[in-house]
A and B are shown apart, each in its own frame.
Chain A
Amino acid sequence: MKLKILLVDDEKDLLNILSFYLKKEGYDIEEAANGLEAFEKTQTWHPNLIISDIQMPLCNGLQLLEMVRTLPPPPIPFLFISGYAGSDLMASTQLKEIQHFISKPFKIKILLDKVKSLSSSPLDIAVGH
C-alpha cells in the first residue's frame, strides 16, 4: 500500500513542487493550506505522515499537532518544515518535543531521506506521549 502523506503549507508554490517530488517517489499526497483544512483532511483521509509548516494563518502547525493528538490511535507522526528558526515560537516547550524538523530552505534529498526513514521505522516515529 502507498504511504499517505498530508502536506500542509500556506505557500501554494511550495506545496506544488513538494508534492511533485513526493509523488515521483511513489507516495500518495494530499495538500492543505492551513491547520484547519489539514485537520479535516486528517479525519477523513487518515494520512500515515503529516509534513507541516509551523506558521500558518487560522491554525498553525503546533495547534494542528495538538488537535491531531486528540484523535484515536494510531498516532500520526509529524515532520515539521519551517523557515522561522530562532524565534520565540521555536523556544516554546511544545516545540522541544518535536523530533522531526527541517528548517527552510532545504535540499529535497534531505526531506526525501527523512520521509523514507520515517516510513521504514513506524515504531520510532510516534511523536510525544
Chain B
Amino acid sequence: MSNAVTTLLTFYTITIVINIAIASLQYAFYRSRVHITILFYWIGILIAAIINTFFTDLNFQLVLFAGTGTFISQTILGAFFCQIRHVSINLKLILSLFLCTTLISYGVSVFNNNFSLYSLIFIIGATAPLLISCHQVLKSPLRPLTLIQKIFCFLAIIMSLHYTTWAFTRPQPELFDLGLIVAMIITSILSILTPTMANEYSLQQRMERLETEVHLRAEQLTQAEQKLWESNKFASLGRMAGGIAHEINNPLSIIYMHAENLKESVQAGIVDTEEVLRSTTKIEEVVERISKITTNLRKVARDKNTIQKNWEDLQKIINETTSLCNDRMKISDISFTLHSPPGPIPFYCNSIEISQVLLNLLNNAIDAIENTQKKEIHLTVEKDASTLIISIEDSGHIDPQHIPQIMEPFFTTKSIGKGTGLGLSISKSIVESHGGRLFLDMSSITTKFVIELPYSENTLPMEKSL
C-alpha cells in the first residue's frame, strides 16, 4: 500500500472516529434515538473501511463483505433520514432487493469470473436502501424539506453513484485511490450534515414536546379557572344560604298556619268564605315571595357557560342580586341604599357573571361591617354617554397594608370557611372580560369599590330587544 493511500485511509478513519464520538456525545445530551442510529452508521462505515483495506483479493468474498457493510450502513443512513422525517422505512423492499441482487451476483460470479460485473450487481442492491428511503421521504409531503435535508438527498444520490463506481475502480489501484478521495469528501460532508440534521430533529422534537405541554397546561389552567369560578360562586351563595333559609322559612310558617286553619275549619264544618279567601290570598302572596327568591337564586347559581353575552337590563340584574343579599343585611341590621337612574339600562353582558361580581362585592361589604357600629352600604349606578359606573360603598375600612393584595387570588382576611379569597380576583377578571375595570376608590374615606364599564347609549333599538 502506498504512503498516500495510508495517509488517506488514516484521515478517513479519523473522520469516522470523530463522527462516532460526536454522535455519542449528542446522544448523551439529547437522548434521542436518531443519534443512536447515526452512531451505528459510523460504526458500520468504519467496519466497511477496515474490510476494504484488509481484503485485497478480488473475489466474491470481498464483494460480499464490503458490499454487506455498505448495505448495512446505507440502510442505517436511510433509516436515520426516515426517522427524522417521521416516515417508516420500507424494509421489505430493501431486504428483498438485497437478497435478489446477492443471489444474482453470486450466480454470475460462479459462471462468469468478471469482478466488475458481479460486484456492480451486488452494489446496486447494497446502495439501494438509501435511495429507496430518500424516495420514501420525498413521497410524503408532511413538511417541506429543510435546506440541510435537501443537500442530504443530493449527497445520497452522489454517494450511491460513487459506490457503484467501486465495481470498476477497485481492480485499478490508481482509480481506487481517486475513489478513496471522493469517499473522503463525501464522508466529510456527511459528517457535517448528519449531526446537524440530528440536532435539528432533536430541537424540533423538544419544541413539539414543549408545545404539547404548553397546550396541556393551558387546558388545565382553563379547567382550574372554571373550578375556581364555580367554587367562588358556591362560596358566595353559601354565605347567603342562612339568610335565604330564613327568608323562605318565614313565609313557609305563614303558609303552614293558614293551611292548618283552613283544614280545621273544614273539619269543624264551619266554612267562612271570607276567611277562606283571606287565607288563600295570603298563601298566594307568600308563595310568590318564595318563588321570587328561588328564581333569583337559580339565576345566579346557573352555570355561566349556559348563557352567552346578551343585551340585558342592568337595573334588573342589580335588583335581583341585591334581593338575595337583603336578608343578610336585614339580619345584621345594615341599612342599604340603592341609587340608580330611572328606567332600564341596556347593557351587553353575561348577566350571571355581572351578578356574580355584585354578589361578591355586596357579600364582602356585609362581612366587613356586620359587627361594626355603623352599618351602611350604598350601591350607586351612574352613567354618561360612554361609561357606566357602579360603586359599592360600605361604612367600613380596609387595613392600608392589605390594599396592595386585595385583588390577588386566595388573599383573604376572613376566617376559614367564610371566604375563599377568590371573590375580588374573579370579579376583577369578569369586569375586565367585559372591557371594564374594577378598583378600590382610594379617594373615598370608607371602603368603596368601583366597577367601570364601557357603555353606549346609542345602541340601535333593534339590538336592545329587551
Q: Which residues of A contact B (CB under 8 A)?
A: 10-11, 13-14, 17-18, 20-21, 55, 57-58, 60, 81-89, 103-109
A91 vs chain B, min Cβ distance (A): 11
Q: Is the CB of B261 within 8 A of A84?
A: no
Q: Which of the residues B249, B285, B330 comes within 8 Å of A83, measured between beta carbons? A: B249
- How many B residues have CB within 8 A of the partner chain? 24
Q: Can you offer 12 A-B residue contacts whose CB atoms are under 8 A?
A: A13-B254, A17-B257, A20-B261, A21-B257, A55-B246, A57-B333, A83-B250, A104-B250, A104-B253, A105-B249, A105-B252, A105-B253
Query: Does B331 contact A106, Cβ atoms closer than 8 Å?
Result: no
Which A-B residue pairs are the 10 nearest by beta carbons?
A83-B249, A105-B252, A104-B249, A87-B242, A105-B253, A84-B246, A55-B331, A17-B257, A104-B253, A83-B246
**Contact B245–A108 (Cβ < 8 Å):** no
**CA–CA, A108 to B331, complex, Å?**
25
Contacts of A107 in B (CB 8 A): 256, 260
Contacts beyond the supplied A60-B331, A103-B249: 17 A-B pairs with Cβ under 8 Å: A13-B251, A13-B254, A14-B254, A14-B257, A21-B261, A55-B330, A83-B245, A83-B248, A83-B252, A84-B243, A84-B245, A86-B245, A88-B242, A89-B331, A104-B253, A105-B256, A108-B260
Looking across the interface, which residue of chain A has its beta carbon closest to that of B282?
A13
Across the interface, which residues of B come within 8 angstroms of A13, CB to CB? 251, 254, 282, 285-286
Report the minimum CB–CB distance from A124 to chain B (whole Å): 26
Interface string of B236-247 (1 = CB under 8 A from A): 000000110111
Q: What are the residues of chain A within 8 A of B252 when measuring CB–CB?
A: 83, 104-105
Query: What is the chain B residue whose CB lies nearest that of A17?
Result: B257
List chain A residues, Cβ under 8 A from B243: 84
Please tell me if B255 contacts chain A, counting CB pairs below 8 Å.
yes
Q: Which of A58, A86, A103 contacts B242 (CB 8 A)?
A: A86
Shortest B367–chain A CB gap in Å is 11
B453: min CB distance to chain A, Å: 33
Return B2 CB to nearest CB of chain A, in Å. Answer: 102
Chain A contacts for B331, CB-based, 8 A: 55, 60, 84, 89
Q: Which residues of A contact B246 (CB under 8 A)?
A: 55, 82-84
Do A84 and B286 touch across chains, with their CB atoms under 8 A apart? no
Point out the residues of chain B lying under 8 angstroms from A10, CB to CB. 330
Q: List residues of chain B with CB under 8 Å of any chain A CB.
A: 242-243, 245-258, 260-261, 282, 285-286, 330-331, 333
The CA of A33 and the CA of B88, in the complex, are separated in Å by: 86
A88 to B247, CA, bound (A): 16
Identify the interface centre among B246, B256, B286: most chain A CB within 10 Å of its CB.
B246
Chain B residue contacts of A103, Cβ below 8 A? 249
**Which residues of the partner chain B approach A21 to less than 8 Å between Cβ atoms?**
257, 261
Contact across chains for B330 and A57 when beta carbons are under 8 A apart: yes
Contact flag A106-B250 (CB < 8 Å), given A57-B330, A87-B242: no
* CB nearest to A12 among chain B residues: B254
Give the contacting residue for B257; candidates A18, A55, A89; CB below 8 A.
A18
Q: Give every chain B residue within 8 A of A86 (Cβ-Cβ).
A: 242, 245
Q: When chains A and B are docked, how far (Å) is the Cα of A18 from the Cα of B248?
A: 17
- From B247, B252, B331, residue with most partner A Cβ within 10 Å: B331
Inter-chain contact A108/B256, CB cutoff 8 Å: yes
Contact between B253 and A14, CB atoms less than 8 A apart: yes
B252 to chain A, nearest CB (A): 4
Closest residue of B by beta carbon distance from A55: B331
Contacts of B330 in A (CB 8 A): 10, 55, 57
CB-nearest residue of chain A relative to B260? A108
Whether the Cβ atoms of A105 and B255 lie closer than 8 Å is yes
Given A55-B331, A58-B333, A84-B331: A17 touches B245 (CB 8 Å cut-off): no
Set of chain A residues within 8 Å of B255, measured between Cβ atoms:
105
Residues of B within 8 Å of A58, CB to CB, are 333
Contacting residue for A17 out of B247, B258, B285, B333, CB 8 A: B258
Instruction: Give every chain B residue within 8 A of A104 (Cβ-Cβ).
Output: 249-250, 252-253
Minimal Cβ-Cβ distance residue in A for B329: A57
A109 to B282, CA, bound (A): 20
Query: In the complex, what residues of A have CB within 8 A of residue B285's CB?
Result: 13
| Chain B residue nearest in CB terms to A87 | B242
Cα separation A18 to B282 with both chains bound (whole Å): 14
Minimum CB–CB distance for B336 against chain A, Å = 11
Task: Tell me the minimal C-beta distance from A14 to chain B in angstroms.
Answer: 5
- In the complex, are the beta carbons of B254 and A17 less than 8 A apart? yes
